[in-house]
Amino acid sequence: MKIIRNYFLISIIIGAVVVFAVAPKTERMGDRLQFAVPIAGLICAFDLKEAGSYFTRFAAGLSTVHLFKNALPDSGINLRPDGHNYGFPSGHTFSASFGASYIVRQCASKIPYIGTIAVLAAGFTASSRVDAEKHNPWQVLFGAIFALIFDRAFQSSASRARRKAVFTRVKSWVAR
C-alpha cells in the first residue's frame, strides 16, 4: 500500500509538470487537468479498495451533467459565452472537482499536500473554462456543486464508517 501511495504522489507531480509543459494555452491545461485529477482520485480509490464506488458515482454524475446539457438545449442558462449551447453545467469542472473532492476526503490525510494540489488543479480547470469563454461562472459553479453532491452525498457506507472512525479517534485525542 505504501508503495502505491508513493507512486501516486510522484505520478501527480510528474503529471502536473507534463500538463504545464505541453499545454501552451490555459484552455489546454484545463482540458488535460479534467482527466488528471479524477484519474488521481481513482488511483487513491484503488488503494482504498473503493474503485467501484468511485467509478460508479463519477459515471452517474457525469451522466447527470450531460442529461442537463441535453435537456436544456435552447435555454439561457445553457448558452455558452461563445454563443454555442450545451454549457450548463460545466463537465470539465465536474470531472476535476469530483476527483479533488474525493482526494481531499479520502487521501489527503495519507499524503501531505495532495489535497491542496488537487483543489488548485480543480480550481484552475474551472477558471480555464471561463477564461476560454466556454462557460460562464454560473455554469462552472454548478459543475462544482454537482461534483460535490455526487462525491459526498452518494458515497459508500464503508467510506462513511471509516470517516466516522477517524473522527472518533481525533475527538478522543483532542479530549485528552
pLDDT at 147: 95
Helices 114-131 + 137-148 axis angle, to 10: 150
Distances (CA, A) of 176 to 92, 169, 173: 45, 11, 5
The model carries a pTM of 0.77
89, pLDDT greater than 80: yes
- The pairs formed by 58-65 with CB atoms below 8 angstroms and a separation of 24 or more are 58/95, 58/98, 58/150, 60/150, 60/154, 61/94, 61/98, 61/146, 61/147, 61/149, 61/150, 61/151, 62/91, 62/94, 62/95, 64/146, 64/150, 65/89, 65/91, 65/94, 65/143, 65/146
pLDDT at 112: 72
Q: What does the mean pLDDT of the chain come to?
A: 81
Query: Which grid cell sits at 103?
Result: 482526494
Band of pLDDT at residue 99, cut at 50, 70 and 90: very high
From CA 67, how far away is CA 35, in angstroms rounded? 20
Measured CA angle at 115 (ends 110, 120), to 5 deg: 160
Q: Do residues 53 and 7 make contact, with C-beta atoms less than 8 angstroms apart?
A: no
> What are the pLDDT digits (tens) for 56-87?
999 999 999 999 999 987 888 888 888 888 88
132, pLDDT greater than 70: yes
Q: Do residues 110 and 1 make contact, with C-beta atoms less than 8 angstroms apart?
A: no
Which amino acid appears at position 87 of this protein? G
Mean pLDDT of 40-54: 89
> What are the pLDDT digits (tens) for 143-172?
999 999 999 887 766 555 655 665 566 566
pLDDT at 33: 86
